[in-house]
Structure 1
Amino acid sequence: MNHQLRTSAAAAAATFLGALALAPLFVGFRWLGPVVVVIVCVAGASLLIRSIPGVAGAAPLAAAAGYLCALTALYAPSQAIAGFLPGPAAVHALGTTLSSGFTDTTEMSAPVSPTTGISLITTGGIGLVAVIIDILATTLRRPALAGLPLLAVFTVPAAVLTKGVGWVPFVFAAAGYLLLLVVEGRERLAGWGRSVVGSAARRWGAAGSVGRQIARSGRGIAAMAITIAVVVPLAIPGLHAGWFGTHHTGNAGVEPGGHGATIQPFVTLRRDLTRSTPIPEFTYTSTGEPGYFRMLTLDEFDGTTWRATGLASGDDISARELRSGTGGREVVTTVTVSGLREAFLPVPQVPVAVDVDGPWKFNTTTQVFYNPQGVTRADQRYTVVSRPLTPSATELAEVSAAVDPSVATYLQYPSSIPQNIKQLADQIVAGARTPYQKAIALQNWFLANFTYDLDAKSGSSTNALESFLRDRTGYCEQFAATMALMARMEGIPSRVDIGFTPGTQIPGTNRYLVTTADAHAWPELYFSGIGWLRFEPTPRGDGQATVPPYGAGGTVPSATLPPTPGASAPQVGNIPSVAPGGAAAPNAGTQSGGEGLSLPHIPLPLVGLVGLIVLAVLCGPAARWWVRQRRWSAADDVAARVHAAWAELGDDLRDLGLDWSGETDTPRRAATALAASTHLRFQEDAREALLRLARAEEIARYAGPLAAQRLSDTHAERDHNIVRQALREAVPRGRRIRALLLPASIAQGLRTRRAGRRATIP
């Protein structure tokens, strides 16, 4: 096995072992098959080109090409040329799949069963790492730097997993990195020459004992380093994330700042709803009818997800300071925590007083209780006094469409939302005269025409929204997020609540049990003079999600009956990302980011893929430019400039695929042979420039101290440019393109340097 094969195999093995760090993110190992295919294709393409004389410098391009072809064959074969070449249709298909994958990553919680999009992201990312490691280890011979991309892979599960990556994936990744260092180090050591065997080794009859001793020492050091890296962190306390990305223990909580909580409630909501065995969260007793428990309010939609803003602001008050007399009849609820470990306190709607131990804060805008220093704990008890709002349908029908300035921000939504969604919302509420009638129309349309399904694709991004409206199946996340968005489009302030449904009564007691199966999301709409009211668009079917009395008693004019699945409605399957003509949505005055130019939407993954292709194509020209600039910048006198021009001429000839004897023959004989060739036979100016350059090279080589004086009137760079231009004009266009993109002189230079390093000591 030659050194190139050993190094390439070690680079591929290191990439594979590093990829195993991603295993905790997935259910099973089905994701690993495509990863192995791409790693093998990258290593194979690179090794194949390195084995061909004259083109070894193009190995990075070959690795990138193998990477792209493998991805295309795996994820877009029907759109590809010959099943694996990435044409325009295949690139578009890959971009679409990649965009879907990025959406999935924001809406699913590890461990996941990999979707096609997530698989493409994983395979594409590991494949890119394989290309980078191959270049670092085999082309640049800098294997130590390969630890950086391997570290990048390792940080993904380290950042995502709440319990950490674990020591087994770390051992695999570290072993792969050390393997690469050992293999490349062996090749570098061999370049110094034959091993010198000491007398002690000869006495023991072990000619190779020195090498084996070095190898044993290296393995011992590596094993010790890995062992220390695994054992020492066990003594360091770790941090573990909870339901909303907060900590289950320690100094968990919401950091101050007022710019929004860094949480992913929808991700954990789906995870808890799909648990095979629900986990008890808390129990409670109530002096009134059991109701919903709010934990968090999401008040801003950025086009990708709903976020909580304004938490931990300076205006928040201590939970014990809350005293309010507004609302309906007073209800007292006593809660006992069991499994819930969160920095957010579940409370009935419209709390007016809370008795809870600890530094809990109350956000007066969102009515959310949070702990900046800790979380709920087992057996913790607290009491909430609430005054649920119970307006009648008549009262709500009298609310005008005028929006209270204090809640105007709850009308904002991105101008990039597809215009057809606004048209669909307009059709649903057509004929409704008041905000209340519009709210009832939206709620009833979802209840009548959609199906509740936890297996449906999750998410509240624009792509997920389009899929939800097209397929008409989903779970509470999509129902709440979509109704809230449509309400804003129709001029009704809205937000999304995350929390729990009332739960189930414990037999023989007056207590109710709430589990992870009761996790829920619902929209809240604001009505002037009344306040925030819950609506229920989710057709959950288990009896837990209930329509409030004011939501069931309203009537909608017959002209606004919700469209059935077969009725004519705006199509949402293929919606442009901006409004027609580049204009903002009709109510852009109330949207965020409504000003500025409207540009065509280009998927970011597609931009990245095109950028990678461009980068790969530019590798060869960039390397050739760097060599040229370095050569000329180092020429600090006239003789050095002559040598640089002569060397550049040789590289130009190699790049164009022309014969050149300048390295083994005298300058005059080499120039005479080239001038007599068909390429310069009819180029008199170029032939004269070539002969002048050859004479200057002879003087620079052999004239010694007199060279500078005899070359005073020499213009080596100008003569070289004349010859170079004539040679380029004399060869076909294909050769010129190959010389630009795949300069053979780069590969020749690498081979020469490697041969020099591996020369043995006489």
Structure 2
Amino acid sequence: MRLTFASGVATFTAAMLLYPLFDGGTWFWSSLGAVLAVVAAGLLSSRLSLPAWAAPVVGVAATWIYLTASFAAGEAWALLVPTKGSVVELAGLLGVGWTDIQRFAAPVPETTGITLLTTGGVALIAIIVDLVAARLRRAALAGLPLLALATVPATILPDPISWPAFIVAALGFIGLLIADGRERVGHWGRAVLVRRTRTTAPAAGGAPGVRADTSGLRLSGKRIGFAAIALAVLVPAALPAMEPVSFFTFGVGGSGTGGQGNSISIPNPIANLKGRLEQPVPQVVLTYTNTDDQPRYLRIYALDTFDGQQFGMTQPKGAPQNRTENGPLPAPPGLGQSVKVANVVTNVQISEEIAELRFLPLPYPARQIRVDGDWRADVDSLMVFSTRDEAAGLGYEVATSEPALTPDTLETLPEDRGEVDPRYLQLPDDLSPEVRALTETVTADATSSYEAAVRLQEFFTKDGGFTYSLRTAGHSTSALRDFLIRDRMGYCEQFAASMAVMARLVGIPSRVAIGFTGGTKTGDRWTVGTNDSHSWPELYFEGVGWLAFEPTPSGSLGQGSARVPAYTQPQPRATGEATTPTPGSTSSAADEPQDPQQQRNLRELDREGTLATGGLPPDESMPLIAKIGLGAAALLLVLLIPALARLITRNRRVRTLGWKVSEPSDELTARMVSGQGAAGRHSSVAAAWAELDDILYDYGMARQPSETPRALARRLTQQYEFDADSAAAVTAIASAVERVLFARDPGRIGPMRKDLRQVRQALAATTSRGRRVRAVLMPPSTLRRLRGMGERLLDGFDLLENIRLRRTAAQKGS
């Protein structure tokens, strides 16, 4: 019976790991009832001594009755007995539940069908665990079905399993193993109930003997179990997360990187980019409409690192608070509050034919997205990605707040870069001197960073004599130099990467974007095909943030749908300031610019509301050295807990030495203040004696249990050669203790703080420096108390385990 109960507890504690999957608690109570039904069936099987194969049959019957009563009582006979109508009802609910699970993303709403599926699944696991552990006596193997419950949230949710829930589940499994161990030991004979004692009472056969004390074995097993749980929780938290390497090569990329589970699957964008551009028949990738009916570049990836041969992307980080369903995305980096913006809402529909795309094509900067599934925004780049959903066939709406810029505005921007990450300016030391010299020549007359950026763009599109061609071989380490100095022929990847590198050479932070151009107008929608795949540079300017530039030649001699941004062209006198900042638009047809505080909320387009800009969520891109430092600091604080506890205890006792208190400090103190002699009036003596006892234990001079206070004082004085003052101090403490313990009237006892300090200094002078340091940082007296607390906790578990045995023994005695 013990194993049946333990199996039920283990199953239910493992089922608690499912809580992040549901939006509510109905499943919890329904699953608890199912587990209790299975436990009741197991107890009945044990009572009737049914064979092992019959117990699961009884469990299935009990589960069926329970599910019928809970979900199809109206169709059942007497609300319990299944009928044809109740079976049909349950089958219909299962089908609806399965459909709902496929339709909703976690946390799912608690529909009746989903609750029924969950309850039935937990009950099935409970039946299997009971069969393996209680019938087949293979408790360790019962961990496999329990693990199946744990893998459900681990594979569905991007967040790790909550450590409190993991601890509860692990304790349930350890309880099952302990119950199995006690059952096996119980088959050897009657259990011995007395712990840690030796006795000469007659043994079971009537002859006197010594009963074996097996408490150490039980304590060791429990300690190992608890230590394993602690390590399983603490060690992963202390290890740094691994990140993938860069992959965006200058030229045709190699094989891509992929992932599974909670990893982000990122195919090689360059290999896919050129492959799409070379398709003989373009395929539709997506269509979109927007409120100003203007084409816009749709960015998928933002690549930010360059090592001389390849651009790569820092692993994006999406915190739970940055889910798209939580409202506005993080604020665009670098965009000031005073900059006027144009609000645009874009409706995107992804083709069903797109495979393995886990990043959303979006206009920049996206401020809010309405999309089904678990999609999250990276704080630095505003890329939106998912670790479990794919974009194929997805429809979504995105609200953008685009800065309305003119060349005059950009000319007056401050040259200060603010707090932009250094990786956007990083270049290798061995970069070709010819490339550096060419960059200086192109930007020699520029008076501002914006003008330098425009000079670089015009160098590629007008002045440099570049030719657009997909037939290029940019594979070697000198591909950048060859493209800029010798060949001057390539496609969008070479143009984007080259301008990004040259921008960094003149001190402008840059990165490379990969996605699609604005496409072409087909009916009332813009159509984007594989031939619109594109790469372009994004440059950072303090006050307006990241701006797209277009160095790739366009038109019939280049990439047909590429467009030069309006803010990089001379401003016509008759057209005012309203321009669209994206490369996909060259007109001023955008919405009237608004202040960011007056933007409409995408989720409240049908009512009055504003789009909250908010602040940046906490940045998760903490450097590895900082993580190691925080881990070391946390470990140090944990190690200093015994020292802090010892310091608090000593200060409390020292404050007691000059006046009266009522609470005992340890075993001897308890004896003193319990009413023996006059101790209740002299608790300061108890505090002094307890502190002296801890000092001796910390210095490795522990008092012997049979040693009287006077004998202890004499031994310390002789063994450690105390001087007259120290000998008098320890003798005074010992005398006060004896008077309090044994004298009817101990008389007046003065303050003992000075005596205790004198004895502590005398003892410290006789020990090594290492022993003194250990007594401060890792005091053995405190560790002894912590160990005692652990043993008392384990003793409590043993009491619970022995309740039934003791009752049985009492009944036999009566």
Q: TM-score over 0.5 for the alignment?
A: no
The structure showing larger relative contact order (alpha-carbon pairs under 8 Å, at least 6 residues apart) is 1
Interval of TM-score (by shorter of Structure 1 and Structure 2): 0.3 to 0.5
TM-score normalised by structure 1 residue count = 0.37
Q: Which has the larger radius of gyration?
A: 2
TM-score normalised by structure 2 residue count = 0.35
